Chain A
């Protein structure tokens, strides 16, 4: 295993995607909205707006549906505090899975389908870099930025929420253990799954745009997490996060096995 080659391939892919506006728009704008703009607006509304202008009825109904353990969490909080706490700790979690899905799939679509479409991938095949090194370089090129953007977005989110909610709580409410688990375990697992699926899609489509559009469907299961929580089907607590991580890790493992066995120069070149 030649690490210089892996690193060079990775940096090359990142440099290339960095020159693409189609990458910057979603990777900066979307996290900015999800991690800063939206939380600040929501936090300010919940902590400042007059109570009767909020739909307290539906909030009360939701509290009652919550499991006992969760109701204990809110014991001693004012309704306002509970509402801020809920959005900061639960409702926003799925958004932090949308970010890695998006970033990982855009980069992977570019560096697999895109390189094939632009007729550059064959250039790499004539170098002494092995199939596995090539694959690893390209996987890391999508994985590392995906996790890094998610973590940066989370740091911004923590700062935004704590800054706007401090007057209400008199303490910092983020980060919490489930959040840290989500960022440390689930975000990498989701990033990997998303890029691996995009690699598989890339082998079967004509180009970057098509790969990216199909990979866009990966957001759907996350929307399920968003609405599942809103209607009180489940909540993303530490247990749920760990459980989802385990499932995704198994899927990741299977995809790695398939990918490492099927990614070869010969296969890619005969599909050119």
Chain B
């Protein structure tokens, strides 16, 4: 089906280092994909393979249905790239930078000038358009790079560490721009980052890569389900009496028990029954979050008075840390 990017056993070995050890990713067209991993994991190498700038030493990559190595010129015509290592021409004016790249993507000079004008305006660089880029702030330079990557209306956008070196405000600004530009245009975006908050806010699907291997990929929900075999919900009651505790215990999945949030914070491990604890907050394991309405009904039937119900969600950071902690090896086999 409609994958903008697919790789099969994509591998790259440099003189000595095995940078990529066979990665398989599938990225549906029109989605934002986060490629997460520590420094040296192989993110930039993957981008260079997908853009045909490097040739794979094994496997294959298809971008927009084209072979990234064999049809690299055509691939590059239809994609835009922003990476840390591909900078602006700092001695030239901002507008010249955009016009030159517009022309290299095949636009006629007049069209390139016009498109550059639009982008400079959109990215808030209009007033400085004729100034040398070396006089710009880091955030402005990044926005110019983003404008450059978009000059030919690419179908796929590769962003390698788009916010590195930016202060939080500038980073936020750039991310909002990316989101605005891509969500409404249904553009496919491939973002490499090690900023997990950023990825969580932006990405439809993510893959976690480490040492040249993809540890896991999918939506946050899918990853969560893979990593934590059961769901959990936190229920806050006015009071936990024996009747309520009993009802919850019975309900709790296959008798795996309940624990209180208080107990857990104190270092309690999963699956410890603590229904009778004094605390009025229960952390209840479930087969899935779908069971929450039934659980609530059960508690109410037992006379429990509920103040709040909060399904436990794992942040991308927790997912990432769990994968990096070694849990990933197991997952990669699936």
Task: Tell whether A269 pairs with B54 under 8 Å between CB atoms, given A124-B104, A127-B105.
Answer: yes
Q: Mark A210-235, 1 if CB is under 8 A from B, else 0.
A: 00000000000000000000000000
Q: Which residues 69-122 of B have a CB within 8 angstroms of A?
A: 73-74, 76-77, 79, 81, 83, 85-92, 96, 100-101, 103-106
Say whether B53 faces chain A, with CB atoms less than 8 Å apart: yes
Contacts of B87 in A (CB 8 A): 118-120, 123
B48–A269 CB distance below 8 A: yes
Contacts of A130 in B (CB 8 A): 73
Say whether B264 faces chain A, with CB atoms less than 8 Å apart: no
Contact of A118 among B55, B90, B100 (CB under 8 A): B90
Say whether A41 faces chain B, with CB atoms less than 8 Å apart: no
B105–A128 CB distance below 8 A: yes
Docked Cα-Cα span, A36 to B15, in Å, equals: 53
User: In the complex, what's the smallest C-beta–C-beta distance from A262 to chain B, in angstroms?
Assistant: 15
Docked Cα-Cα span, A259 to B125, in Å, equals: 39
Contacts of A19 in B (CB 8 A): 91-92, 132
Task: Tell whether A120 pairs with B54 under 8 Å between CB atoms, given A12-B100, A270-B14.
Answer: no
Say whether B60 faces chain A, with CB atoms less than 8 Å apart: no
B92–A128 CB distance below 8 A: no
Say whether A176 faces chain B, with CB atoms less than 8 Å apart: no
Say whether B51 faces chain A, with CB atoms less than 8 Å apart: yes
Contacts of B48 in A (CB 8 A): 269
Docked Cα-Cα span, A98 to B325, in Å, equals: 63
User: In the complex, what's the smallest C-beta–C-beta distance from A122 to chain B, in angstroms?
Assistant: 4
Say whether A125 faces chain B, with CB atoms less than 8 Å apart: yes
Contacts of A118 in B (CB 8 A): 87, 90
B53–A16 CB distance below 8 A: no
Docked Cα-Cα span, A166 to B267, in Å, equals: 103
- Nearest A-chain residue to B158, judged by Cβ: A126
- Nearest B-chain residue to A121, judged by Cβ: B86
- Nearest B-chain residue to A124, judged by Cβ: B104
Contacts of B54 in A (CB 8 A): 265-266, 269-270
Say whether A48 faces chain B, with CB atoms less than 8 Å apart: no
Task: Tell whether A128 pairs with B86 under 8 Å between CB atoms, given A15-B96, A269-B53.
Answer: no
Docked Cα-Cα span, A272 to B44, in Å, equals: 13
Task: Tell whether A126 pairs with B103 under 8 Å between CB atoms, given A119-B86, A120-B86.
Answer: no
Number of A-B contacts (CB under 8 A): 75
Docked Cα-Cα span, A272 to B83, in Å, equals: 14
Docked Cα-Cα span, A266 to B13, in Å, equals: 13
Contacts of A120 in B (CB 8 A): 86-90
Contact of A126 among B14, B51, B74, B132 (CB under 8 A): B51
Say whether A184 faces chain B, with CB atoms less than 8 Å apart: no
Docked Cα-Cα span, A9 to B132, in Å, equals: 18
Interface size on B, residues (CB 8 A): 31
Does more than half of chain A's interface fall in helix, strand or loop, or is it mixed?
A: helix
Contacts of A119 in B (CB 8 A): 85-87
- Nearest A-chain residue to B81, judged by Cβ: A126
Task: Tell whether A266 pairs with B53 under 8 Å between CB atoms, given A19-B92, A122-B83, A127-B76.
Answer: yes
Task: Tell whether A266 pairs with B91 under 8 Å between CB atoms, given A122-B83, A127-B76.
Answer: no
Q: Which residues 106-128 of A have a CB within 8 angstroms of B?
A: 118-120, 122-128
Say whether A197 faces chain B, with CB atoms less than 8 Å apart: no
Contact of B91 among A20, A122, A123, A127 (CB under 8 A): A20
Contact of A125 among B53, B55, B91, B103 (CB under 8 A): B53
B53–A128 CB distance below 8 A: no
Say whether A5 faces chain B, with CB atoms less than 8 Å apart: yes
Say whether A129 faces chain B, with CB atoms less than 8 Å apart: yes
Say whether A71 faces chain B, with CB atoms less than 8 Å apart: no
Docked Cα-Cα span, A12 to B97, in Å, equals: 9
User: In the complex, what's the smallest C-beta–C-beta distance from A90 to chain B, in angstroms?
Assistant: 41
Docked Cα-Cα span, A272 to B54, in Å, equals: 13
Interface-centre pick from A8, A118, A122, A126 (highest chain B CB count, 10 A): A126
User: In the complex, what's the smallest C-beta–C-beta distance from B110 to chain A, in angstroms?
Assistant: 13
Docked Cα-Cα span, A5 to B90, in Å, equals: 20
B91–A16 CB distance below 8 A: yes
Say whether A56 faces chain B, with CB atoms less than 8 Å apart: no
Contacts of A5 in B (CB 8 A): 103-104
- Nearest B-chain residue to A115, judged by Cβ: B89
Task: Tell whether A128 pairs with B73 under 8 Å between CB atoms, given A119-B87, A120-B88, A269-B48.
Answer: yes
Docked Cα-Cα span, A129 to B15, in Å, equals: 26
User: In the complex, what's the smallest C-beta–C-beta distance from B141 to chain A, in angstroms?
Assistant: 12
A sample of 23 cross-chain residue pairs with beta-carbon separation below 8 angstroms, ordered by A number, consists of A9-B104, A16-B91, A118-B90, A119-B85, A119-B87, A120-B87, A120-B89, A122-B85, A122-B86, A123-B86, A123-B148, A124-B104, A126-B51, A126-B53, A126-B81, A127-B101, A127-B104, A128-B73, A128-B74, A128-B105, A128-B106, A265-B54, A270-B14
Interface residue ranges, B against A (CB under 8 Å) = 14-15, 48, 51, 53-55, 73-74, 76-77, 79, 81, 83, 85-92, 96, 100-101, 103-106, 132, 148
Nearest first, the 5 A-B pairs at minimum CB distance are A122-B86, A123-B86, A126-B81, A19-B91, A127-B104
| Extra 12 A-B pairs, beta carbons < 8 Å, given A122-B85, A126-B86 | A5-B103, A12-B89, A16-B92, A119-B86, A120-B87, A122-B86, A124-B104, A127-B101, A127-B105, A128-B73, A128-B77, A269-B54
